[in-house]
Every structure is written in C-alpha cells, then in structure tokens.
Amino acid sequence: MTGWWVVVPVKDADRGKSRLADVLGPGERGRFVRSMALDTLAAASAADAVAGVVLVTPDRVLASWAQRGGALVVDEPAGGGLDAAVVAGEAFVRTRTPDAPVAALLGDLPGLLPADLDAALRLASAHPRAHVPDVAGTGTTLLTAVAGSTLRPAFGAGSSARHAAAGHLALDVPPDSSLRHDVDEPADLDTLLDTPGARAPGAHARMGA
C-alpha cells in the first residue's frame, strides 16, 4: 500500500487551548501550542508508514517553522474550524496522490512516538475508515481513510462517538499509547510527563530553530 499522508490541522496558536489559560499566559500559551504542533509534525514525519505530512493552519509563524522542517502547508479555510481544515488538507493530498491513504492527526500530541503512530496506521490499513479515541474514550486523536474512502471529520467534544457513527471504526490501541494522550486540560500536562517513554513538549522540535 502507498504510504500514508498525514494531515495536521492546527488553529491559530495565540487563540488555541483556552482551557490552559489558568496555567499559561496568552503569549506563553501560543508558544506552547506551536511547540506541541511542531513535535507532532516531527513525530509524524519520522514514522515509517508516513509518506508525507501536511499542516493546515492560519498561523503564519507556525507555518514558516513547519516548512523549515519539511512539512507542506495549506491555509485553513476562513471560519471553517478543524473539520473544514481536515477536508482542505485531504483535498490537497488527493490532488497530489489520489491513491494514498490519508489520516488526520490532531496537533496536540507532544509526547507522540513515531512507533505508536506506525502501529495505529497498520491497524487502520485493514479498514476503510477508522479512528483512535483519546485516553478518555470520548475525543479523537487520529482519523483515517484508505484509498477509495474519504475522511468524515466531526471533531469537538464527544467526537469519538460521532466518528464511529460516521463509519470510522474505533481501533484497539492500548491506553498507554502516546497516540491517545493529547493535551487539552492542565491535568493532561502532568499525565504526559508521567507517561513511560513520553517526552516533554519541545523534545522533537525547538521553536525558532
């Protein structure tokens, strides 16, 4: 099978992760969001199953840094949100490699290990559409579609159930996989640092490098 193309949608960093506002100031939060995204992009690029990575974002600073790391960049559709960003990224991939399987990977996985992404993509390759729930079992960190299928993104609170209803099978990825540990709440930062084998944010990519 042709290697996977991974679409990473990231909101404007200075407005993202508002639930971390109690522990990070506005400027600090923006830097953190960009750092998480760069780590996620670096991990995806390092995965053996991945042929290419596309960042979809309105954040020009993040876009510039990501391009230096080899990612392709697509502008986020105005006012579209994550779902529209995923659709735009998939459309971009399909114009380049129509027969490639495509995955949408959220950009808030700073502890992501390439081997964990590879393991999930191997499982996903056996299903037309699939997804990986977050460790709580309610959200989604990865959404996949093989050649001949398309992504049906429905991100936001409770997205795992919506993705399952849309035909994206929930993959049996172990709870300790770094792919299931996204960062939304302050408590997620502690969990990330306590996860065996995980890295602190910034371990893959240093901002401004």
pLDDT at 203: 42
pLDDT at 33: 84
Q: What is the DSSP string of 68-98?
A: HTT-EEEEPPTT-HHHHHHHHHHHHHHHH-T
Answer for the pair 195, 178: CB distance below 8 angstroms, yes or no: yes
pLDDT at 208: 35
> Looking at the chain, how many residues does it have?
209
Non-local CB neighbours of 106 within 8 Å, separated by 6+ positions? 8, 9, 40, 82, 140, 141, 142, 155, 182
* Domain boundaries 4-194, corresponding CATH code: 3.90.550.10
pLDDT at 24: 52
pLDDT at 27: 59
pLDDT at 86: 98
CA distance 45 to 185: 26
The C-alpha angle 91, 72, 65, rounded to 5 degrees, equals 140
pLDDT at 32: 80
- Mean pLDDT in consecutive groups of 10 residues from the start of the chain, 209 residues: 91 60 57 88 97 96 92 90 96 95 95 97 98 96 97 96 98 96 61 48 40
